[in-house]
Copies of this chain bind each other. A is one copy, B any other.
Amino acid sequence: MLTGIPSKEDILAAAGIIKEKAHRTPLLSSSAINSMFGCTILFKCENFQKAGAFKFRGAYYSLKSLSPSELQKGVTTHSSGNHAAALALSAKLSNSKAYIVMPETAPKIKKDAVRTYGAEIFFCQPNLKSRIEKVEEVIAQTGATLIHPYDNYTVIAGQATCALEIFEEVKDADYIIAPVGGGGLLSGTCLSAKYFSPSVKVIGAEPKGADDAYRSIRDGYIHPSVNPKTICDGLLTQLCDKTFEIIKNNAERIITCSDDSVIESMRLIWERMKIIVEPSAAITLAAIMENQILFEGKRVVCILSGGNVDLNRLPWNS
């Protein structure tokens, strides 16, 4: 496990390991969307990644960084979202075990996703205190290693490989936009930009109803995420010290977007590109939609972070 901010070599090492099992996801574009917004947009399709989100990168790399005895004891995390599924799949692929702590109230579809990959679920109350206690209990019982979804430099190095792949193919981007929740993907993107494409400006896209990262960067200290209200269910969490430091020193800015723009962007991507992305991914296009003059005539990469959506509950049908 890495104990400091990942270096250029750390990210290259992560990429060498991750490519064993991860998809090298394509960069797609839509001429219709480009002409709508007056810029050239390249979409990095992490919705096509294993387990449907970029999270597989960090999770798989973490598993691969464990010692044989740690691997045997397994890994744990408290999450009901994409990180949980990614960790479960990574454990399965590494002949290890995953113990996932999630609230009893988590949607069935998320429980099923984690179970499909063979993980064991431990239920807790739907609050942070109960989650943490349950994880501690699981660790005490099993000796499993906690793999935090973003407060972990090894995970950040894994997420950085997404932007590394982008910069191997795209040499002249003006901007790269990543969603920001806990900041793992955005931190990794900042680091890869710094090492591999220093002229590109890195932007974080965040829901207005969960704008703690925006306020944290503005004010110079971490604001907690209190009662976030957004359909971007992957962006509810707050920065940690590690991600705050990297983002503060390397990101150009955080752009906040309304849920209405997110829904409009999501629908546009579905209709025009015929690909399925989740709200937390579509927010990168929403950032352009709400700031068209800033991006006019530019080349912009949007990281479509994931595609895990409950098809029975689409935002335009509710």
Contacts and interface: CB of A to CB of B under 8 A. Distances in A.
Interface of A: 26, 47-48, 52, 267, 270-271, 273-277, 307, 311-312, 314, 316-317
Contact of A270 (B26, B48, B276): B276
A302 to B, nearest CB: 16
B276 A274 contact: yes
B276 A307 contact: no
Contacts of A314: 311, 314, 317
Contact of A307 (B274, B277, B317): B274
8 contacts: A26-B26, A47-B274, A48-B273, A274-B275, A276-B276, A311-B314, A311-B316, A314-B317
A312 B276 CA distance: 15
A311 B266 CA distance: 11
Contacts of A316: 311-312
A-B pairs, 6 with minimum CB distance: A274-B307, A274-B276, A47-B274, A275-B275, A48-B274, A270-B276
A207 to B, nearest CB: 21
A26 B25 CA distance: 13
A311 B270 contact: yes
Nearest to A274: B307
A270 B270 CA distance: 11
Contacts of A273: 48
A274 B25 CA distance: 12
A271 to B, nearest CB: 7
Nearest to A49: B274
Contacts of A271: 311
A29 to B, nearest CB: 11
Contacts of A267: 311
Contacts of A52: 274
Contacts of A307: 274
A219 to B, nearest CB: 37
A277 B275 CA distance: 9
A42 to B, nearest CB: 15
